[in-house]
Homo-oligomer: A and B are copies of this chain.
Amino acid sequence: MSLDRISAHACFGGTQGIYRHRSTSIGTDMEVAVYVPPQAADGPLPVLTYLSGLTCTWENFTVKAGAQRYAAEHGVIIVAPDTSPRGLNIPGENDSYDFGTGAGFYVDATQDPWKTNYRMYSYVRDELPALIASEFKIDAQRQGIFGHSMGGHGALVMALRNPDRYRSVSAFSPIVAASRVPWGEKALGGYLGQDKEAWKHYDASLLAEKGGWKSPILVDQGTSDQFLEKELKPEILEEACQKSGTPLTLRRQPGYDHSYYFIATFMGDHIAHHAKILKA
């Protein structure tokens, strides 16, 4: 298991690297972006994984979010994987923007023809952190996760299901209830089949309602987001956290949309949120 470097760029005193590796959980090559801040010279650092939204690769976040500045300020490594396997030539894989390529939804598929390769949950939770730990000087006990939209869903699900692995979590305009909105119903139905019991493991609000996550959750949501009412529904997460006493700060940001202009605006707050918890 090793990373081949595609490119490396000096950035805010550290290095933004782009890598390719053969994924055992996915069964094909995957690309991943890793930002290593200047503090890496002084010893192991916390790791923050960012999960992107529908149609994205590592690139959108890496070039648009402005995260490197804050990662360099706080001394955290940032890992940004792709959103799905690519180029497998599975029939139907490229038919829509919200299923298949670019739309792995961070689940382990159980249905044919997806179950062999569409295993983003295991990839993000197990394989990628082990790979990063083997290639970079990280403090594996200090890991956080965040993401946008589908990736916000992924981050919340990862953290809430694995509080032993992640100390901090946040999200930008997340899909908070994947089992109950059109994007999620299509994806979970396709990857997991029509038995909705299986979907519950990938619904962030159902997971939050059960309790068990203790550190503060930060969520930013633009009020002018075109997907707000139909796909995102942050009030479902708000209610779930209230029921279980899970500490959630949900900020409704007036006038902001679903774009990286929104994400970039609040990226500094999110990385500060993680750094505070990870370095405590």
* Chain A residues with a Cβ under 8 A of chain B: 9-13, 16, 63-64, 66, 68-69, 222, 224, 253, 255-257, 259-262, 264-265, 268
User: Is B16 within 8 A of A261, CB to CB?
Assistant: yes
User: Is B10 within 8 A of A262, CB to CB?
Assistant: yes
Q: Which of A10, A68, A259 has the most CB of B within 10 A?
A: A10
| Residue of B with least CB distance to A254 | B10
Q: Which of A222, A255, A261 has the most CB of B within 10 A?
A: A261
User: Is B63 within 8 A of A11, CB to CB?
Assistant: no
| Residue of B with least CB distance to A223 | B10
User: Is B11 within 8 A of A265, CB to CB?
Assistant: yes
User: Is A69 within 8 A of B68, CB to CB?
Assistant: no
- List, in ascending order, chain B residues with CB within 8 A of A16's CB: 261
User: Is B63 within 8 A of A9, CB to CB?
Assistant: no
State which of B11, B13, B253, B264 has its C-beta within 8 Å of the C-beta of A69. Answer: B264
Kindly state the separation between the CA atoms of A12 and B63 in the bound complex, as whole angstroms.
Answer: 17
State which of B10, B256, B265 has its C-beta within 8 Å of the C-beta of A265. Answer: B10
User: Is B66 within 8 A of A11, CB to CB?
Assistant: no
Kindly state the separation between the CA atoms of A260 and B13 in the bound complex, as whole angstroms.
Answer: 14
User: Is A257 within 8 A of B222, CB to CB?
Assistant: no
